[in-house]
Amino acid sequence: MALRTDKAVEIFSAVALNKMKETEVEVAEAREAIKELAANPTPNNRYEIGQLVGFTVNDILKERVNYLNDIADTKTVAIGEKAMFTTKLDGIEAFIQAKGSTTQRSKVFQKESTLDTIAVSTRPYINFLDLASGKVNFDEIVSEAAYKMEIKMMQYIEDVFYAAFITAGTYSSPNYASGSGVIKTTIDPQIVAFQRFGAVSLLGDISVISKLSVLTGFVQTGTTYQHDPAIINEHNRNGFIGIYNACNVAKLVNPFEEGSLSTTILRNGLIYILPSGMKEMRPLKVVIEGSVSPMDQTNIDDRSFELRLDQHFGAGLVIGSRAYMGLYRDEALTTA
């Protein structure tokens, strides 16, 4: 019986996450083990294959969506449980009065919220003969399944955030601002506002964060910008600079949609402005409920083996007295 700690789970997860080369001997051995199970499709062997797929997809998916921790207040709960998000509200006040006189009371306020969850699912099927003969590699199945689930999950979360934070038109600078390109006089005041809470990080697609490099110059003579050679070298080396205006800059992993060389999975014109150490105060809340759950069945007519994989999750915006998060939209890359 397959276990979550099974060596095959570790190997196939490592291959999918590019932590192990396909040429490693261990990978070949793990593939052979799957082929042996598929060659003798007893109920126990089918169940074991299904469990291995579920455990492996779960490990891959959890690591690939780990960057949610950079932009959201994320909680993980068991199946059937609810995540409780506590948001602090302004309540305590201070007063000036004569010495010895009674001062007014002020209450500590907070609100607690939960999120409903939905499911992201995939339902691949293969022929046992293809799996047993090696025409289809097990690790290709799990990698593709995890990738497709990740895409749908991240698109949904971004859509929830975008609709509430931008489309609704509720927020203005420093929470939200936009411009054609990355405009220094627009994004800098946003950054400065959130730096009053501490260190700030900037996160975005390479298409938009690469535009920060040209904003680092200083006018010394007339209108000619002078740039530090170290910044020029760093941009040439990495495609973007690691620090802008005292903020750490990080690149968001954002591949193309399948079959496209122009459309990315996530919007590529957004820069998230994130105060560090204030995760629980971020307005975007995400809950991951349980692990990837597998179910399997076979079709005796065509010898196909079908799997259903489900991951429950939820996302929403919960605002306290103020939203401790900023967003800049490059209108040239992401239209409204």
Residue ranges of the domains in the chain? 7-93+104-330
Query: Quick one: average pLDDT of 208-235?
Result: 80
pLDDT category of residue 129 using cuts at 50, 70 and 90: confident
- Residue whose pair of structure tokens reads 């932590």 in the numeric block: 19
pLDDT of residue 22: 84
pLDDT of residue 331: 95
Mean pLDDT comparison of 20-29, 91-100, 183-192, 219-228, highest-scoring range: 183-192
In which element (H, E) is residue 313 found?
strand 304-317
**pLDDT tens profile 259-279:** 888 889 899 999 999 887 767
CATH number of 7-93+104-330: 3.90.1690
Query: Quick one: average pLDDT of 210-239?
Result: 81
SS3 string of 276-299?
CCCHHHCCEEEEEEEEEEEEEEEE
pLDDT of residue 4: 47
**pLDDT tens profile 63-99:** 888 888 888 889 999 999 988 887 776 666 676 777 7
- Residue 121, pLDDT > 90, answer yes
Torsion sign (Cα): 79, 81, 82, 84 = negative
d(CA 273, CA 283): 12
Check residue 104 and report its DSSP letter.
P
Angle at 128 between CA 126 and CA 133, to 5 degrees: 110
Query: Quick one: average pLDDT of 123-149?
Result: 86
CB distance 127 to 303 below 8 Å: yes
d(CA 204, CA 333): 12
Residue 94 burial (CB count, 10 A): 7
d(CA 277, CA 314): 23
pLDDT of residue 92: 63
